[in-house]
Amino acid sequence: MSRLVVVSNRVAPIDEGKQAAGGLAVAVLAALKKTGGIWFGWSGTVVEGESQSEPKRTDVGRLTYATVDLGRRDFEEYYNGFANQTLWPLFHYRLGLISVSRRTLEGYQRVNRYFADRLAPLLKPDDMVWVHDYHLIPFGAQLRERGCEQRMGFFLHTPLPTPEVLIVLPNHQDLIRSLCAYDLVGFHTEVDLRCFTDYIRDYTDGEVSEAPDGGMLVRAFGRTLVARAFPISIDTANLESLAETASRSRHTERLKESLVGRRLIIGVDRLDYSKGLPQRFESFEHLLANYPEHCNRVSFLQVAPPSREDVPEYIAIRRELSELSGRINGRFAEFDWVPIRYLNKSFGRRVLAGFYRVANVGLVTPLRDGMNLVAKEFVACQNPDDPGVLVLSCFAGAAREMGEALIVNPFDTESVADALQRALTMPVEERRERHASMMQTLRRHDIGWWRETYVDALTRAPYR
Ligand code: ADQ
């Protein structure tokens, strides 16, 4: 079996004893443990001066973590700059928030070259290289320039926007050309895949046809590759049993006690403007205003740990949410009830699993989201006999697989309030049916399925 080499911007902390945090880390670790291999990426350390460290290697069984540091300027231009102030807002359709500069673009390319310089010497001819996310789109092309002919795949964890939005990027052609240096390009949904093939048809001389084993065969920029949707998922069975035991944990008990019989709506997100948090708070406000019977009977717990705190837009959204929650609480609170419990901190997977289990409604309303794993995690953590209801944005990739959720348009905050009302009053039979149907999907398409289908498709490269 070929060795797998995973490349991602951040490498999950090396801590065998602890559960890896996010969905990506769990999936990558499981894949690497199976085949053995390398996980290469940024260490998370920023050093003064230039990026020039040699990879720091740590072996854990058959798995090698290889990490490099970033210099301050590269961190600013590549990570805070081009990745998070240009590509992230662009890919989430937030044109008003993007900044474009040659300086940050050069930083983005420079760091991709630096990473390629450091990884290329570690590769063996039969390796399979699997690159993750928008930070590293040009990485494969950089490896090819260094003579690497290995099978190489890429997976985009964000949405890909329509060509009309993508062309706002001055270097859109270079970016898509570099995507074509991979043998396999994976997206979350058919919608993202179509955006890619539309771009190939409309903005290049390339051709697109059906691939025999699934996805689309793309011939462009002198290369042949397969582009295909691989919806990411969660470790369903593991979460189910985690939630079952967590339902009796101390944290869960404390949460239940604090509710004194009230119902609970829960939201869990990184603090990011793509997650639609201001609109979500307003939707809850509409619920209390339009359906006053819920006043003092429902609490909304929003967990939102800050992320990307050096980027001005993230400072702004944090301030906006503090003001909004303060205003709404000031308007509706009673001496013994605070409507919104808004927490800027994160919790471990086990604690969150218990919180999901207690909640009557999971409110997941991003304005755009590649997939959204929280939606899937919420469903997997429910008690099947008395499950909570998922209210889910139509703009999350997860909505494509979880049609039994109450699907909402997060911009239409009064309709979201109506959906909350429906969720809070839904009969138990209907809740069970919807939950059972979503669980079927999540059991069939769990994180193992995602990893295996992707690696299997990559094994079949190169495509002709
Ligand atoms: P994210 O934008 O980070 O991921 P999401 O998929 O919801 O969004 O969450 C990632 C993970 O972080 C989940 O496993 C979740 O439990 C965890 N998490 C979120 N908030 C947390 C909190 N407050 N405390 C502890 N853990 C928390 C990106 C894309 C998504 C895509 C994923 C995976 O933006 O669209 O689904 O990658 O591809």
| pLDDT tens readout for residues 369-398 | 999 999 999 999 999 999 999 999 999 999
Q: What is the pLDDT of residues 148-157, one digit of tens each?
A: 999 999 999 9
Would you say the CB of residue 38 lies under 6 angstroms from ligand 1? no
What local confidence, expressed as pLDDT, does residue 22 receive? 61
The domain total for the chain is 2
Four-point Cα dihedral 177, 181, 186, 191, nearest 10 = 20
Residues 120, 42: Cα–Cα separation, whole Å: 15
What local confidence, expressed as pLDDT, does residue 359 receive? 98
Identify residue 320 by its one-letter amino acid code: E
Q: What CATH number should be reported for the domain holding residue 387?
A: 3.40.50.2000
What local confidence, expressed as pLDDT, does residue 34 receive? 80
Please name the residue whose Cα sits nearest to atom 38 of ligand 1.
157
Residues 72 and 30 in one domain: yes
Ligand 1 mutation pick, 235, 236, 270, 357, max ligand atoms within 8 A of CB: 270
The yes-or-no verdict on residue 20 having pLDDT over 60 is: no
Q: What is the pLDDT of residues 224-252, one digit of tens each?
A: 999 999 999 999 999 999 999 998 999 99
Residues 213 and 287 in one domain: no
Residues 174 and 260 in one domain: no
Helix-strand-coil split of the chain, %, nearest 5: 45, 20, 30
Residues 110, 65: Cα–Cα separation, whole Å: 22
The yes-or-no verdict on residue 27 having pLDDT over 80 is: no
Structure tokens at 448: 């193992």
Residues 210 and 334 in one domain: no
Which class for 291: exposed (0-12), middle (13-18), buried (19 or more C-beta within 10 A)?
middle
Residues 283 and 419 in one domain: yes
Degrees, nearest 5: CA angle 45-29-24? 75
pLDDT level of residue 17 (50, 70, 90 thresholds): very low
Average pLDDT, the chain: 95
Residues 253 and 224 in one domain: no
Q: What is the pLDDT of residues 126-147, one digit of tens each?
A: 999 999 999 999 999 999 999 9
Structure tokens at 415: 């309709």
pLDDT level of residue 204 (50, 70, 90 thresholds): very high
Q: What is the pLDDT of residues 438-462, one digit of tens each?
A: 999 999 999 999 999 999 999 999 9
Would you say the CB of residue 20 lies under 6 angstroms from ligand 1? no
Residues 156 and 261 in one domain: no
The DSSP secondary-structure symbol of 397 reads G
Contact in structure between 388 and 278 (CB atoms under 8 Å): no
What local confidence, expressed as pLDDT, does residue 54 receive? 93
The question of whether 157 is a catalytic residue gets the answer yes
The question of whether 435 is a catalytic residue gets the answer no
pLDDT level of residue 14 (50, 70, 90 thresholds): low
Q: What is the pLDDT of residues 423-443, one digit of tens each?
A: 999 999 999 999 999 999 999
Residues 458, 464: Cα–Cα separation, whole Å: 13
Would you say the CB of residue 346 lies under 6 angstroms from ligand 1? yes
Confirm whether pTM is higher than 0.85: yes
Residues 7, 114: Cα–Cα separation, whole Å: 13
Q: What is the pLDDT of residues 47-89, one digit of tens each?
A: 999 988 899 999 988 899 999 999 999 999 999 999 999 999 9
Residues 146, 84: Cα–Cα separation, whole Å: 27
Residues 405 and 430 in one domain: yes
Residues 297 and 221 in one domain: no
Residues 65 and 187 in one domain: yes
Residues 160 and 289 in one domain: no
The DSSP secondary-structure symbol of 79 reads I
Q: How far is ligand 1, taken at its centre, from the CA of residue 188, in Å? A: 14
Residue tagged active-site, from 127, 133, 192, 369: 369
Would you say the CB of residue 372 lies under 6 angstroms from ligand 1? yes
Q: What integer is the mean pLDDT of 343-347? A: 94
What local confidence, expressed as pLDDT, does residue 437 receive? 98
Which class for 53: exposed (0-12), middle (13-18), buried (19 or more C-beta within 10 A)?
middle
Domain that holds residue 428: 236-444
Contact in structure between 442 and 232 (CB atoms under 8 Å): no
Percentage of residues of the chain with pLDDT beyond 70: 98
pLDDT level of residue 18 (50, 70, 90 thresholds): low
Residues 358, 266: Cα–Cα separation, whole Å: 9
Residues 353, 329: Cα–Cα separation, whole Å: 26
Contact in structure between 109 and 139 (CB atoms under 8 Å): no
Would you say the CB of residue 133 lies under 6 angstroms from ligand 1? no
pLDDT level of residue 332 (50, 70, 90 thresholds): very high
Residues 300 and 372 in one domain: yes
Contact in structure between 267 and 363 (CB atoms under 8 Å): yes
pLDDT level of residue 464 (50, 70, 90 thresholds): confident
Contact in structure between 390 and 431 (CB atoms under 8 Å): no
What local confidence, expressed as pLDDT, does residue 29 receive? 82
